Amino acid sequence: MFRDITLRDLMGLHAKEPHTMIDVRSPKEFAEASIPGALNIPLFNDEERAEVGTIYKQVGQAEAKKRGLAIFAEKLPAFIAEFEKIDTSMTVFCWRGGMRSKTAATVLDLMGIHAHRLTGGIRTYRQWVVEELNNIEYSPELIVLNGYTGSGKTVILHKLAEVSEPIIDLENLAGHRGSIFGQIGLNGSNQKNFESLLLHDLKRTNDEKVVFIEGESKRIGKVTMPGFLFEKKEHSRQLIIKLPIEERVRITLEDYKPAERPEEFKTAFEQIRRRIHVPIAKEIEVALDSGDFETATLLLLEHYYDPRYQHSTGKVDDDLKVTIAADTVDEAFVKVLAWKQEYMKTK
């Protein structure tokens, strides 16, 4: 017989041994929010869930259960086969810890596959995330990578991670690069997923002395940074990365790859066109239409992004700013790492 476990018990299991969490909700529900690291083995796909839900509303619970059972019966062998691939202990969950996770755990038990069921489902987990973010005391000092668009801040952040420096990659968690073109080619996150992933990283890094982070706005794409983290970032030491404009254009083109999605870039440009001086906006339009993305990027950096950056950094105290000037992003990374090593000698 399967056993219900609390969220605290689940976290304890996950911490001491390999443990697999399985979300049995539909793919759409899973994409909207789940527990980080969980697998999705759904009882119903999105269309089947909608069908059962319609029957429940229009006919009644009994008929909805019958239809749900008929749908599930047809896919039972494939459902079981997915669980047989898992070689760790496991816990299944749905939204409230109700019928879907109970059905999954019961069927698995009948087939000799032991699985726990999370009491309260993902709703309990979501409540925990909100409470933790409201009450967390995040102790590390933040070192904020800042600088004009295209200064390689994300590249440097990833290089720091590669040499085991603690980082929080807000753009990655948000699925957005933090600009009007920021979601092109990425899968933007929603607030629930962002907060779950962010909390995981905050807890992962909370024992560090310093943590590197990028100088993002409070809103990153569709998500909003928690107030406590934004305020901490705003009053933290800022490493201002300064690269030649040619290197910034190269980095921007390499990151955004506009030639692969030219129409999406033109659409995004139209959203900011009115904020750019008319003759310059016309030059950008012509460059985009002709596929001259290098010229378009140069003009956007000089006439749109750079003025906006100058305005935003004016709010940071000068004594918190450290300039890192370099000819290339690789050189900037080496200088950031050297600065950090010298800075830690003073701690």
34-55 pLDDT per residue, tens: 999 999 999 999 999 999 999 9
Give the per-residue pLDDT at 263: 86
Encode 107-118: b = buried (16+ Cβ within 10 Å), e = exposed.
bbeeeeeebbbb
Q: Which residues of the chain fall short of a pLDDT of 70?
A: 1, 176-188, 310-316
CA–CA dist 88, 82 (Å, integer): 13
Give the per-residue pLDDT at 176: 67
Give the per-residue pLDDT at 255: 83
Give the per-residue pLDDT at 184: 56
Closest CA to 242 of 315, 322, 346: 322
Encode 164-193: b = buried (16+ Cβ within 10 Å), e = exposed.
ebbbbbbbbbbbbbbbbbbbbeeeebeebb
Annotated catalytic sites, by residue?
94
Max CA pair span of the chain? 73
Give the per-residue pLDDT at 127: 95
Closest CA to 92 of 47, 25, 11, 168: 25
Give the per-residue pLDDT at 35: 93
Contact assessment for residue 118 and residue 10, using Cβ atoms and an 8 Å cutoff: yes
Give the per-residue pLDDT at 14: 85
Give the per-residue pLDDT at 187: 63
